[in-house]
Amino acid sequence: MKKILFASSEAVPFIKTGGLADVVGSLPKNFDHKKYDVRVILPKYACMDEKFSKSLKTVASFYTELGWRKQYAGVLGAKADGIQYYFIDNEFYFAGNHPYGEIYQDIEKFAFFSKAVLDALEFIDFLPDVIHCNDWQTGLIPVFLEKFYRGRENYSKIRTVFSIHNIRFQGRWKIPEVKDVTGLPEDVFTAEGIESYGESNYLKGGIVYADAVTTVSKSYAMEIMTPEGGEGLDGVLRRYSFKLFGILNGLDYDVYHPGKDPYITAKFSVKNAAAKKRRNKENLQKISGLPKERDTFLIGMVSRMSDQKGFDLVACILDEFLSRENVQFVVLGTGEERYENMFRYFSDKYPDKMSVYIGYSEDRAHLIYAGADAFLMPSLFEPCGLSQLISLRYGTVPIVRETGGLKDTVEPYNKFTQEGCGFSFANYNAHEMADAMRMAKELYETEKNRWQDLVLRGMKQNFSWKSSVKEYERLYESICQLTE
Ligand code: ADP
Ligand code: GLC
């Protein structure tokens, strides 16, 4: 039995700000549990929903050395969906009403988390064969392991995987301060180590020191090795390309299941999608304050409001599109104020066509996935993207830009062969996006049967974890052989 420990800054159901939480909350369940004992370790944030924090049980406590500091670390435990979760507790570091704060605070917070994870292993009696780290917040785990723990018997054989969910966020900060916080030796702060453009860079630490690096789609794995997509780290990634793998994310098919979803108005399957989606659409229009128009093309968006998600393209064409087209938009999201305000402005200007809810809402998200006709995701870049996968499963036709995981998962509609399950455009250009939206709308309005076939083809796609989990299992096996 191999022991795998996932270290992450978020995981469903405990704490979520984006797709990382969906991935860490579902991938571990999908391993072959006869061969793999998979557990997860997270920070215990003060902002975690009380219904979870109240149920945690104390497992251990100790002190973690962080440079000259000695900091208290508690370990709490809980089971969810058959998976053992651990939480590192420290009320000072994990205070506040959001998992992430100012970068200078997060730098020390996640250095502490990474160090405490390694210290915790001896106290929780779970010495993993592989620690699977996720994003920059856990990038120092492979570095600390190499520099401070390798000599200890219990740690000598531990291997590490580092998964990049988004290369834009790197955890960069001034070298003297990171030296002080981590106590790591000089050689770590060089170009061979975590130094990058004169700063220290946690994500680079993960790339350099882990035994294998993965990212969440094959296209994104290629893109991050180019100057356009590498956010300054393309050179490092090309250098380590021998240990870089693209493994596509899956979706939790138990949670995102239109036949079982407790949030949606009318549950459905491929057999009754047309009629039931109509009811879901009606209810979505009702709660969104839009006229109940059965045949008006309704486009949904559920997203972090960041430039990553292509909102600059939306901003460019929205006024013209809303003024000219008979269309409805239902938008849910929160993030940068300029985008939130743009949607507020257009929902005031076109109250019968645009409805926006600024905030985070799990139930509204599901209502949009189930009730919209199409889902717009024109990302500037997209490592994998889960929203388009959820849309496909709920019979909502994705309109996407051909980048990263969107390119790998949404096969464009071909009107000659009647293949494909969405609409896409190649360049980061607002008019190309508007053309794709118009093509989708035209098919919806003029060729109902073909549209319905397109919907069903999307619903029948399979983006469960089944094949990706095998790729992770093979990867774990291969890096574990490195020790033998
Ligand atoms: P990213 O992780 O880059 O934000 P993904 O598409 O991988 O993008 O995952 C986003 C996840 O977060 C999806 O499950 C999506 O439904 C959810 N989500 C994003 N914004 C909101 C919101 N405002 N309310 C509810 N869920 C949201
Ligand atoms: C990141 C990416 C998104 C991906 C998610 C989970 O947040 O932006 O594309 O789906 O991580 O891997």
192-228 pLDDT, tens digit each? 999 999 999 999 999 999 999 999 999 999 999 999 9
167-183 pLDDT, tens digit each? 999 999 999 999 999 99
Amino acid identity of residue 350, one-letter, is Y
Predicted local confidence at residue 482, as pLDDT: 78
DSSP code for 309: G
Predicted local confidence at residue 328, as pLDDT: 98
Ligand lying closest to the C-alpha of residue 407:
2
Partners of 134 in beta bridges: 163
Using the predicted structure, report yes or no on whether residue 77 has a pLDDT greater than 50.
yes
* 8 Å CB contact between 280 and 372: no
Q: Determine the Cα–Cα distance for residues 181 and 44; give it in Å rounded to an integer.
A: 20
- CA 307 vs. chain centroid, Å, equals 16
Question: Beta strand pairing status for 69-80 and 354-358?
Answer: unpaired
Q: Determine the Cα–Cα distance for residues 265 and 366; give it in Å rounded to an integer.
A: 10
Ligand 1: distance of its center to the CA of 298 in Å?
Answer: 19
The overall longest dimension of the chain from CA atoms, in Å, is: 70
Using the predicted structure, report yes or no on whether residue 299 has a pLDDT greater than 60.
yes
More confident residue, 482 or 189: 189
Q: Determine the Cα–Cα distance for residues 78 and 83; give it in Å rounded to an integer.
A: 8
More confident residue, 297 or 483: 297
pLDDT band, residue 480 (cuts 50/70/90): very high
What is the dihedral sign for C-alpha 172, 178, 179, 185? negative
Q: Determine the Cα–Cα distance for residues 385 and 377; give it in Å rounded to an integer.
A: 9
- CA 443 vs. chain centroid, Å, equals 31
pLDDT band, residue 322 (cuts 50/70/90): very high
pLDDT band, residue 298 (cuts 50/70/90): very high
Dihedral (Cα; 91, 194, 165, 430), 10-degree rounding:
120
Ligand 2: distance of its center to the CA of 62 in Å?
Answer: 33
Give me the chain's average pLDDT, please. Answer: 97
- Does ligand 1 come within 6 angstroms of the Cβ of 345? no
- Does ligand 1 come within 6 angstroms of the Cβ of 169? no
447-464 pLDDT, tens digit each? 999 999 999 999 999 999
* 8 Å CB contact between 171 and 110: yes
- Indicate the helix (H) or strand (E) that contains 398: strand 397-401
The model carries a pTM of 0.97
**Mean of the pLDDT values across residues 152-157?**
95
Tally Cβ neighbours within 10 Å of residue 338: 12
Nearest CA to ligand 2 atom 5: 19
Structural tokens at position 116? 């405490």
Q: Determine the Cα–Cα distance for residues 354 and 345; give it in Å rounded to an integer.
A: 10
- Does ligand 2 come within 6 angstroms of the Cβ of 77? no
Ligand 1: distance of its center to the CA of 53 in Å?
Answer: 23
Q: Is 158 left (phi over 0), alpha (psi -120 to 50) or beta?
A: beta
24-71 pLDDT, tens digit each? 999 999 999 999 999 999 999 999 999 999 999 999 999 999 999 999
- Does ligand 2 come within 6 angstroms of the Cβ of 383? yes
Closest by Cα among 399, 396, 410, 414 to 321: 399
Tally Cβ neighbours within 10 Å of residue 29: 16
Ligand 2: distance of its center to the CA of 282 in Å?
Answer: 31
In percent, the amount of the chain with pLDDT more than 70 equals 100
Nearest CA to ligand 1 atom 12: 18
Nearest CA to ligand 2 atom 3: 385
Tally Cβ neighbours within 10 Å of residue 97: 8
What is the dihedral sign for C-alpha 126, 130, 135, 138? positive
Using the predicted structure, report yes or no on whether residue 139 has a pLDDT greater than 70.
yes
Helices (DSSP H) in 246-336: which residue ranges? Answer: 273-288, 311-324
Structural tokens at position 353? 């066509």
- Does ligand 2 come within 6 angstroms of the Cβ of 166? yes
Structural tokens at position 388? 């388009």
Counting ligand 1 atoms within 8 A of each CB, the residue from 24, 249, 252, 304 with the most, and so the one to mutate, is 304
- Does ligand 2 come within 6 angstroms of the Cβ of 23? yes
Number of H helices, E strands in the chain: 17, 18
Q: Determine the Cα–Cα distance for residues 105 and 381; give it in Å rounded to an integer.
A: 27
Predicted local confidence at residue 483, as pLDDT: 57
- Does ligand 1 come within 6 angstroms of the Cβ of 107? no
- Does ligand 2 come within 6 angstroms of the Cβ of 249? yes
Ligand lying closest to the C-alpha of residue 163:
2
Predicted local confidence at residue 484, as pLDDT: 46
Q: Determine the Cα–Cα distance for residues 6 and 317; give it in Å rounded to an integer.
A: 42
Closest by Cα among 142, 135, 109 to 203: 135
The structure tokens 């118009």 sit at 438
- Does ligand 2 come within 6 angstroms of the Cβ of 76? no
More confident residue, 383 or 102: 383
- Does ligand 1 come within 6 angstroms of the Cβ of 419? no
Q: Determine the Cα–Cα distance for residues 36 and 2; give it in Å rounded to an integer.
A: 5
Ligand 1: distance of its center to the CA of 365 in Å?
Answer: 8
Burial annotation 357-393 (CB, 10 A radius, 16+ → b, else e): bbeebeebbbbbbbbbbbbbbbbbbbbbbbbbbbbbb
Counting ligand 1 atoms within 8 A of each CB, the residue from 387, 390, 410 with the most, and so the one to mutate, is 387
**Mean of the pLDDT values across residues 257-275?**
97
Q: What contacts 265, CB < 8 A, 6 or more positions away?
A: 279, 280, 282, 283, 367, 370, 371
